[in-house]
């Protein structure tokens, strides 16, 4: 089963092209380690939340944009082996020293399914992490999911229909606290 590892970071808006170049240059190394797909998206419509949101999750500053990214691996075993290689590879150390963002504020975690993914390896961070981003309580698991749309216009049209659909408004309670959900729209920077 495919294994997905997701990342959220805050990148200075002025560093957009530098970030895209950084990600593009890292791609061959990640593929060498077993990544089958790498997607980088630039925050396009990332709203402020009432309780939680993406900006707060990564402690984004006013001049920063939230970036959402993910790697796909054939399975978790390949991901675990890749992470072990990354920790000892001098190329990764060099990339870490030239990151166009504050890596201490990156949140990341692995999940077992694309689109709606149940947290499987969601580590505690030193400054930020997925659990803190959604104010997860004891007994709760972080889930992340996404929808890939053909375009922003297609997304806007679909959301209008979804909100009007009776199946979405049937009065049934959500199986989670929706006030702690973080969400946003992202434009693809790299999909390889």
H/E stretch holding 154 reads helix 152-164
Q: Enter the CATH code of domain 3-168.
A: 3.30.70.100
Per-residue confidence (pLDDT) for residue 115, from 0 to 100: 63
- Whether the pTM exceeds 0.75: the reply is no
What pLDDT, on the 0 to 100 scale, is given for residue 157?
Answer: 77
CA angle 143, 144, 145 (to 5 degrees): 130
Measured CA to CA, the distance from residue 131 to residue 143 in angstroms comes to: 10
Q: In what order do the strands lie in the sheet with 185-191?
A: 143-145, 116-121, 107-111, 3-12, 64-73, 37-45, 185-191
Of 111, 112, 86, whose CA–CA distance to 34 is shortest? Answer: 86
Mean of pLDDT values over 123-134 = 91
Q: Please state, in angstroms and as integers, the Cα–Cα distance from residue 183 to each residue in 98, 147, 159, following that order.
A: 28, 11, 14
Distance separating alpha carbons of residues 189 and 192, to the nearest angstrom: 10
Q: Which two tokens stand for residue 70?
A: 């993910």
- What value does the mean pLDDT of the chain take? 87
Which range has the top average pLDDT, 10-14, 71-75, 80-84, 162-166? Answer: 10-14
- Contact at 8 Å (CB) between 104 and 127? yes
pLDDT tens for 26-48 read 999 999 999 999 999 999 999 99
Report, in angstroms and rounded to the nearest whole number, the Rg of the chain calculated over CA atoms: 17
> Which pLDDT value is given to residue 182?
84
The burial of 3, by beta-carbon neighbours within 10 Å (0-12 exposed, 13-18 middle, 19 or more buried), is given as buried
| Mean pLDDT value across residues 43-68 | 94
> For residue 113, what pLDDT is reported?
38
CA 134 to chain centre: 13
Higher pLDDT, 117 or 35: 35
Domain boundaries, given as residue ranges, for the chain: 3-168
């Amino acid at each position: 089963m495919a294994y997905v590892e997701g990342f959220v970071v805050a990148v200075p808006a002025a560093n957009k092209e530098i970030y895209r170049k950084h990600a593009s240059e890292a791609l061959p190394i990640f593929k060498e380690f077993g990544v089958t797909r790498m997607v980088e998206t630039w925050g396009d419509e990332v709203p402020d939340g009432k309780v939680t949101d993406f900006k707060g999750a990564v402690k984004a500053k006013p001049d920063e944009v939230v970036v959402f990214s993910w790697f796909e691996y054939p399975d978790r075993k390949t991901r675990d082996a890749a992470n072990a290689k990354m920790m000892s590879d001098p190329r990764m150390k060099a990339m870490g020293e030239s990151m166009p963002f504050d890596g201490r504020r990156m949140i990341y975690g692995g999940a077992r399914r694309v689109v709606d993914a149940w947290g499987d390896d969601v580590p505690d961070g030193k400054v930020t992490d997925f659990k803190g981003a959604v104010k997860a309580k004891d007994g709760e698991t972080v889930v992340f999911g996404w929808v890939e749309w053909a375009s922003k216009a297609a997304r806007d049209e679909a959301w209008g229909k979804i909100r009007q659909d009776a199946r979405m408004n049937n009065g049934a309670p959500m199986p989670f606290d929706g006030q702690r959900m973080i969400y946003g729209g992202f434009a693809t920077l790299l999909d390889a």
